[in-house]
């Protein structure tokens, strides 16, 4: 072999070695990148699945909470009557085997009912006064629904997770409703999602105590996760992830966790790195072996090296596709998924996406233009803008809410999210995948809520009175113009929104804000109506109405109405009903009501208890017959003035009818009463009544009957005074006679 040939061979071998070295370095880097991408996708899908499972768990918690509260209300209403029937209804609401026990404890913690005991057996021998959930409910500490550690039931003799709610009777603590749910049922639900022991789903309390585990439940009941877990050390975090070796089975996993929104629970999903990444690692090992064998066969020409490189590139694409398929499988739940190959323009949809729109698989529009025809025209532009921003790399992900036409021609709402999963060397997107969620019910609820708020605002603005609404933080939510007018506020109603309660009181001033206070107890106080008078003399009727939802206090509203005219009318009607129209004295009904009230309340007692005078004008019929009834009315009015002039401030006079009058003298002795009666009689006799025609004035006299009020009823007093009056009449008139037993 010539030196030149050897040189050429050496040069060729050097070139081959350089190419192989460069290729081997690139291969190692490519495999590491693929493995990291697969791990990132696995972690992302794990987090999404944990979130979806947390929402499903929230639904179960809401259902158990509703059952517990319903059982408590049924117990307060009917006691044991038909209570087992109500429990049967509750059992039908939950899957078989989920409900272990429904129990009622009284306010002392004694079990007064359990569905595990017969009606003729007593459950009061069992006490839960020492249990954590009973102590918390008795002290009225939040939350409303308490979820216990797994406990071994004293009645059921089984492990159970106890969901308990307090029972309040008219605001007073009356006991606790306990719904015992089987941890095996909770674990079975998790195991249905992850049947293999490599991956695990765990339901925990927020303090880390195990409630359910898809595998090895018997090893964790009554235990807690290590205290260094992030969801235990920081209660402010709502979700997160970490890696750890499980102390239960020694498996290294990546964990994604999420707190349930309506209960202090944590849903943790653990995916085994070895199992989740096994297809990727197997493919990498196979590729490494094949390339090592290829490099070892130095007799292959450069064409074989080129073919191996091309084959490696083909394997690389297969590995990327395998990792993406794994991510889609981990997505789980009821989300619809789509996968759009931008190089071919052909999208793919899963069965859930197809069913959401009411299509069968062959009917689904398989082109982007076909999909765009289903999107509502008013929403299409904003969907395009959101999608293009993500494709250009201006947004981390694509997200849009839009209406899309159902196969039955009605519109439903989609929440559409997606992310580019592959880009070319020039950065252009090659493939994008995402999920859709049917949010039609949420959108309808939001629209109904907005319409309700609009109607409420319109109603309050048109309310025929002043309106002031404050929230639970004591800040003004809204007022109307009439409120500002009634309290002479120069501000426009909208400028008062957000104003603190104390600031509003300062603006009103002390004299106008006495009524504006926050009642003690807030939501526990019922609606109250008060009447106030403004410094300007205006009468206002104010309703204070608390705003609550279940047991939550949300604020209050004051409704203010101007009742000045009504009060004036009531005063006029009261005067007409209680006053004699001719003389201005109290009429018979008003006078008798006052007399009965004094005697009934014990205001008349003792020797100087008081006296009753019965007065009757002498020969009044002659006045009417001689001068006419108009002059007779003048005589009666004159008599009333004389009576008022002779009485003390504490005395009361009234016209009983015709020419008959009565006078009530409280705290008066017999001697003083007789003296006052004679003084009145003499003044009337010495005060002739002038007439309009200028005739000789009319002289009138009066007869008076007197009786003391001690120990008698109003009817008896009136009868005795009338007998004394009759004696005065028959004894010659114009005199005072005293009734004696």
- pLDDT for res 326: 42
The residue among 566, 594, 625 that closes a domain is 566
Domains: count for the chain: 4
- pLDDT for res 379: 92
Please write the tens of the pLDDT for every residue from 134-150: 888 888 776 678 888 88
Q: What's the CATH number where 626 sits?
A: 3.30.70.270
Same domain, 301 and 339: no
pLDDT bin (cut points 50, 70, 90) of residue 376 is very high
- 131, part of any domain: no
CA distance 643 to 674: 15
Same domain, 317 and 343: no
Length of the chain: 741
- pLDDT for res 718: 92
Please write the tens of the pLDDT for every residue from 261-274: 878 889 898 888 77
Same domain, 627 and 717: yes
Residue 736 scores a pLDDT above 90: yes
Same domain, 583 and 732: yes
- pLDDT for res 401: 93
pLDDT bin (cut points 50, 70, 90) of residue 329 is very low
- 210, part of any domain: no
Please give the residue that has the higher pLDDT: either 541 or 739: 739
Please write the tens of the pLDDT for every residue from 438-484: 999 888 888 887 777 677 667 666 777 888 888 888 888 888 888 88
Which one of 176-190, 301-315, 684-698 scores highest in mean pLDDT? 176-190
Q: Average model confidence (pLDDT) for the chain?
A: 82
Same domain, 394 and 519: no
DSSP 545-563: EEEEETTEEEEEEEEEEE-
- 671, part of any domain: yes
Same domain, 634 and 667: yes
- 240, part of any domain: no
Q: What angle do CA 716, 717, 722 make, to 5 degrees?
A: 100
> How many alpha carbons lie under 13 Å from residue 629 in its C-beta half-sphere?
2
Q: What percent of the chain has pLDDT over 70?
A: 86
Residue 511 scores a pLDDT above 80: no
pLDDT mean over 2-28? 81
- 540, part of any domain: yes
Same domain, 600 and 532: no
- 49, part of any domain: no
Same domain, 468 and 431: no
pLDDT bin (cut points 50, 70, 90) of residue 519 is low
Same domain, 702 and 643: yes
Three-state DSSP state, 660: strand
Which residues span the domain enclosing 291? 3-41+277-329
Residue 523 scores a pLDDT above 50: no
Please give the residue that has the higher pLDDT: either 145 or 78: 145
Least confident of 571-580, 629-638, 657-666: 571-580
N- to C-terminal Cα separation, the chain: 167
The residue among 329, 345, 372 that closes a domain is 329
- 185, part of any domain: no
Please write the tens of the pLDDT for every residue from 93-126: 777 778 888 888 888 888 888 887 776 555 556 8
- 558, part of any domain: yes
Please write the tens of the pLDDT for every residue from 281-303: 788 888 888 888 888 776 676 67
CA torsion, ordered 682, 684, 686, 692, to nearest 10 deg: 180
Region of residue 735 (phi > 0: left; psi between -120 and 50: alpha; otherwise: beta)? beta
Please write the tens of the pLDDT for every residue from 396-437: 999 999 999 998 889 999 999 999 988 888 889 999 999 999
Q: Has this prediction a pTM greater than 0.75?
A: no
Same domain, 343 and 406: yes
Asked if residues 266 and 189 have their Cβ atoms less than 8 Å apart, the reply is no
Residue 721 scores a pLDDT above 80: yes
Least confident of 340-354, 604-618, 700-714: 604-618
Q: What's the CATH number where 374 sits?
A: 3.30.450.20
pLDDT bin (cut points 50, 70, 90) of residue 726 is very high
Residue 602 scores a pLDDT above 70: no
Same domain, 284 and 358: no
- pLDDT for res 607: 54
- pLDDT for res 142: 67
Same domain, 556 and 583: no
């Amino acid at each position: 072999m010539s030196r030149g040939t050897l040189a050429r061979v050496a040069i060729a071998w050097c070139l081959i070695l350089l190419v192989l070295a460069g290729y081997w370095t690139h291969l190692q880097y490519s495999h590491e990148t693929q493995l990291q991408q697969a791990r990132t996708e696995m972690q992302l899908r794990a987090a999404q699945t944990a979130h979806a499972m947390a929402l499903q768990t929230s639904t179960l918690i809401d259902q158990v909470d509703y059952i517990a509260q319903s059982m408590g209300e049924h117990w307060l209403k009917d006691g044991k009557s038909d209570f087992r029937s109500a429990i049967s209804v509750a059992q039908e609401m939950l899957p078989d085997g989920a409900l272990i026990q429904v129990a009622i404890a009284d306010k002392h913690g004694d079990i007064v009912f359990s569905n595990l005991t017969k009606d003729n057996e007593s459950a009061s021998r069992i006490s839960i006064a020492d249990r954590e959930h009973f102590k918390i409910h008795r002290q009225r500490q939040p939350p409303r629904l308490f979820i216990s550690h797994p406990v071994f039931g004293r009645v059921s003799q089984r492990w159970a997770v106890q969901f308990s709610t307090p029972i309040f009777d008219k605001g007073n603590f009356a006991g606790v409703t306990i719904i015992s749910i089987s941890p095996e049922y909770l674990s079975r639900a998790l195991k249905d999602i992850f049947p293999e022991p490599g991956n695990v789903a765990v339901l925990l309390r927020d303090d880390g105590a195990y409630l359910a585990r898809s595998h090895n439940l018997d090893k964790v009941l009554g235990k807690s996760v290590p205290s260094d877990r992030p969801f235990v050390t920081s209660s402010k975090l709502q979700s997160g992830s970490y890696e750890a070796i499980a102390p239960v089975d020694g498996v290294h996993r990546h964990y994604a966790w999420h707190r349930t929104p309506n209960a202090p629970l944590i849903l943790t999903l653990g995916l085994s790195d070895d199992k989740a990444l096994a297809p990727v690692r197997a493919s990498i090992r196979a590729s490494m072996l094949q390339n090592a064998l290829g490099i070892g066969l130095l007799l292959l020409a450069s064409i074989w090296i080129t073919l191996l490189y091309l084959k490696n590139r083909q394997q690389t694409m297969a590995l990327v596709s395998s990792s993406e398929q794994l991510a889609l499988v981990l997505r789980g739940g009821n989300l619809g998924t789509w996968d759009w190959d931008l190089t071919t323009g052909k999208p793919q949809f899963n069965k859930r996406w197809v069913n959401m729109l009411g299509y069968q698989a062959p009917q689904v529009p398989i082109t982007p233009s076909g999909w765009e025809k289903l999107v509502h025209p008013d929403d299409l532009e904003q969907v395009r803008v959101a999608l293009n921003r993500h494709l250009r790399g201006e947004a981390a992900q694509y997200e849009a809410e839009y209406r899309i036409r159902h196969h039955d021609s009605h519109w439903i709402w989609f929440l559409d999210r997606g992310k580019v999963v592959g880009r070319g060397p020039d950065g252009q997107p090659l493939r994008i995948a995402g999920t859709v969620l049917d949010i039609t019910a949420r959108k309808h609820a939001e629209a109904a809520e907005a319409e309700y708020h609009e109607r409420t605002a319109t109603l309050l603005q048109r309310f025929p009175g002043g309106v002031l609404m404050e929230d639970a933080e004591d800040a003004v939510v809204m007022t109307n113009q009439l409120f500002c007018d009634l309290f002479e506020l120069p501000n426009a109603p909208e400028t008062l929104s957000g104003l603190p309660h104390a600031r509003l009181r300062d603006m009103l001033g002390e004299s106008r804000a006495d009524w504006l206070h926050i009642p003690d107890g807030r939501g526990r106080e019922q609606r109250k109506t008060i009447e106030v008078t403004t410094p300007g003399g205006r009468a206002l009727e104010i309703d204070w109405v608390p705003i609550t939802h279940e047991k939550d206090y949300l604020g209050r509203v004051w409704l203010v109405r101007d009742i000045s005219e009504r009060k004036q009318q009531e005063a006029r009607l009261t005067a007409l009903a209680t006053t004699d129209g001719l003389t201005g004295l109290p009429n018979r009904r008003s006078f008798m009501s006052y007399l009965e009230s004094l005697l009934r309340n014990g205001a008349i007692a003792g020797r100087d208890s008081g006296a009753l005078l019965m007065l009757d004008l002498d020969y009044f019929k002659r006045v009417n017959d001689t001068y006419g009834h108009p002059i007779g009315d003048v005589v009666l009015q004159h008599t009333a003035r004389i009576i008022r002039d002779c009485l003390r401030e504490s005395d009361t006079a009234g016209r009983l009818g015709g020419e008959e009058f009565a006078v009530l003298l409280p705290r008066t002795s017999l001697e003083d009463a007789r003296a006052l009666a004679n003084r009145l009689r003499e003044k009337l006799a010495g005060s002739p009544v002038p007439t309009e025609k200028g005739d000789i004035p009319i002289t009138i006299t009066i007869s008076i009957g007197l009786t003391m009020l001690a120990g008698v009823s109003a009817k008896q007093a009136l009868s005795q005074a009338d007998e004394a009056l009759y004696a005065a009449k028959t004894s010659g008139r114009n005199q005072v006679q005293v009734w004696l037993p």
